[in-house]
Amino acid sequence: MRSLCREMAAPWPGLMADGGVRLRFNATAGGRFDNSVVFVDGEAAPQSDATSVFDWTPRAASAAPCDAAFEDGYAYDAEPKLVRARPARRAAADGPLDVTVGSA
């Protein structure tokens, strides 16, 4: 999957060296945080484990446990079949909750 993050022209504080991004949320213990990650609907279906969602190349991960839902039926430009992953996370403590999105 092409990373839209790598196509960004201007530097961004959350941009990582590998072309991924780090999202940082100011969390309160027990707070719920949702984000979306889009995967090409190809040979390998997106999956989730205790802390991340991934397919053969991109991965969205955090130290916070996640419960992910997958939704198909999305399309964009030259990619007619996309799957949207919606990982939901709960902060264990007050402070920053980081989610990294990048290569697996």
pLDDT of residue 12: 52
Give the count of domains, the chain: 1
pLDDT of residue 35: 87
pLDDT of residue 10: 42
Strand ranges (DSSP E) for the chain? Answer: 21-27, 32-34, 37-40, 47-48, 52-54, 58-61, 66-76, 79-90, 95-103
pLDDT digit of tens for each residue in the chain (104 aa)? 333 333 333 445 566 666 788 888 899 999 998 888 888 888 788 999 999 999 877 788 999 999 999 999 999 888 899 999 999 999 999 999 989 888 76
HSE of 73 in the Cβ direction (CA atoms, 13 Å)? 2
Q: Please tell me the pTM assigned to this model.
A: 0.73
Domain that holds residue 41: 4-103
Give the closest residue to 1 by CA, choosing from 91, 88, 85, 98: 85
Q: Taking the alpha carbons of 43, 87, 38, 22 in that order, is the dihedral positive or negative?
A: negative
